[in-house]
């Protein structure tokens, strides 16, 4: 018998991203909710998009040319971004999409690292590893004993 | 041979399939995978192989 599963790493929230825009007197402020949870992976993803990243208390501040985003966590530990500077809603959403894609690659790398490191202790022997055309990584494990 | 096939997509989502396991063992490995991957299962289903085996078993039981 076999079963297929879809698993969501805890670093990813199930909520879909969405954006809302308000215009203040001095700046355009765009709030974009994300599916991201892990602070370290988010900081790495921001750097992947060539942002200068600065911790600010519980927040992360990312600076691109003319655009600043302040990432803060909600009660579900999901990050939302607060944009200021030379930015409108479409650009803010584009930036978050780029960060989200980079975040996904960071999660992929973290999951693969954790899986390959911890699988032997669970009685799983890696038989093969391959990359699919859509850049997914496929690992085949032989079950050698109960974990 | 029992196997687990894990596919980690570029967006960080994970799919997994167990092969050659009995039903109860399959379910045991859901928990193992959740722990290994620090993940929560959001969907699971038995595969066609499993359904075929179940059907064969039901037919066998009926005779």
Under 8 Å CB pairs connecting chains A and B tally to: 160
pLDDT at A116: 93
- Give dist(CA B59, CA B61) in Å, integer: 5
Average pLDDT rounded to a whole number, residues A1-28: 58
For residue B2, give Cα distances in angstroms to A128, A146, B22, B31: 14, 11, 10, 16
Whether complex ipTM tops 0.85: no
All residues at 6 or more sequence positions from B60 whose CB lies less than 8 Å from its CB, including other chains: none
Task: Work out the angle at residue A113's Cα, subtended by the Cα atoms of residues A15 and B30, and round it to the nearest 5 degrees.
Answer: 60
Nearest to A10 among B5, B38, B46 (CB): B38
Domain spans in chain A, listed from the N-terminal domain onward: 2-119
Chain B residues closer than 8 Å to A107 by CB: 11-12
Mean pLDDT of A73-100: 82
Find residue A84's DSSP bridge partners: A68
Lowest pLDDT segment from A3-7, A27-31, A40-44, B21-25: A27-31
The 10s digit of each residue's pLDDT in A130-145 is: 999 999 999 999 998 7
What pLDDT score was predicted for residue B43?
78
Annotation: CATH topology of A2-119: TATA-Binding Protein (3.30.310)
């Amino acid at each position: 018998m076999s079963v297929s599963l879809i698993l969501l790493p805890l670093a990813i929230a199930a909520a879909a991203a969405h954006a809302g825009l308000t215009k203040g007197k001095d700046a355009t402020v765009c709030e974009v909710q994300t599916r991201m949870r892990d602070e370290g992976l988010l900081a790495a993803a921001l750097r992947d998009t060539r942002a200068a990243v600065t911790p600010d208390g519980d927040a992360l501040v990312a600076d691109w040319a003319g655009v600043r985003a302040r990432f803060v966590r909600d009660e579900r530990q999901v990050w939302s971004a607060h944009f200021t500077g030379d930015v409108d809603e479409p650009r803010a959403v584009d930036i978050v999409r780029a960060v989200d894609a980079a975040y996904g690659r960071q999660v992929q790398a973290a999951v693969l690292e954790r899986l390959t490191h911890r699988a032997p202790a669970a009685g799983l022997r890696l038989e093969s590893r391959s990359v699919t055309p859509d850049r997914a990584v496929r690992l085949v494990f032989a079950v050698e004993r109960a974990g | 041979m029992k196997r687990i096939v894990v596919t980690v997509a570029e967006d960080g989502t994970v799919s997994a399939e167990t092969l050659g396991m009995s039903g109860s063992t399959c379910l045991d490995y859901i928990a193992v995978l959740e722990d290994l991957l620090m993940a929560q299962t959001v969907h699971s289903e038995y595969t066609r192989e499993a359904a075929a085996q179940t059907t064969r078993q039901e037919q066998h039981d009926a005779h």
